[in-house]
Amino acid sequence: MARSRTPSPDVARRSAGKSSPTSKTSKGWLKEHFDDQYVQRSWQEGYRSRASYKLLELDDKDRLLTPGMTVIDLGAAPGGWSQVAAEKVGSEGVVIASDILEMDALAGVDFIQGDFTEESVLEEILSTLGERPVDLVMSDMAPNMSGMAAIDQPQAMYLVELALDLAGQTLRPGGTFLAKVFQGEGFDDYLKALRGAFTRVVTRKPSASRARSREVYLLAQGFRG
């Protein structure tokens, strides 16, 4: 059943697609960021962000992307995942990306800027897709983190629930869903829902995902339709 796209009162509106450091810790965060091996590799190899290496590792392990596929990328900015997807699906494939933040144009990617919690953004994604069945829906969405689990976790779960709703509307039978999920309240119920809708569900923690982060990636394959 599709969920309401209006957050409950305890779920603040999503702002930026990725959380940012506080002023007290920004210097340390920036040093860690620029020293990070995946950040440095992204500069050297021409990828938009270190997140590209998460998807590259997942694709290497689970063969997610093949030429000609249709892919939806939620929480796409600055384009690390979309860039990898466009390279993998090639000129015969389709990549539709969306984020509340701006994203510089990428060849082979249709970008829709807007807040995915708003009905108008969903409608634009569906309009761009047309009647084409989707092979892979992937979500790297995350709310701005306050550091308070009672606020952050409901926000994060709300976004991945909306992503799953979109997958349910658009995936072809046998299709794949990939989402970043934060472990905490609601995680087990969400995992149960995935297992009911897909034939195979596994948890992945790519090497480029920082060890201290509660994020994991849930990969659900074999959409039951």
* Domain coordinates in residue numbering, the chain: 50-223
The encoded tokens of residue 73 equal: 């990328």
Q: Is there a binding annotation on residue 79? A: yes
Per-residue pLDDT for 8 more than 70? no
Q: Is there a binding annotation on residue 10? A: no
Element (H, E) at 216: strand 215-223
Q: Is there a binding annotation on residue 43? A: no
- CB under 8 Å to 95, separation ≥6 — which residues? 70, 71, 72, 73, 82, 85, 86, 89, 108, 109, 110
Compare 45 and 176 and report the one with higher pLDDT.
176
pLDDT digits (tens, 9 = 90+) for 38-86: 666 766 676 878 899 999 999 999 999 999 999 999 999 999 999 999 9
- CB under 8 Å to 150, separation ≥6 — which residues? 10
Residue 25's pLDDT band (cuts 50, 70, 90): low
Structure pTM? 0.84
Candidates 24, 27, 31, 180; catalytic one = 180
Q: Is there a binding annotation on residue 29? A: no
Q: Is there a binding annotation on residue 110? A: no
In CATH, 50-223 is 3.40.50.150: yes
| Residue 180 is a catalytic residue | yes
> Where do the DSSP E strands lie in 27-184?
70-74, 94-99, 109-113, 134-139, 171-182
d(CA 84, CA 190): 27
pLDDT digits (tens, 9 = 90+) for 124-136: 999 999 999 999 9
Helical pair 51-62 and 80-89, crossing angle rounded to 10 deg: 40
Residue 10's pLDDT band (cuts 50, 70, 90): very low
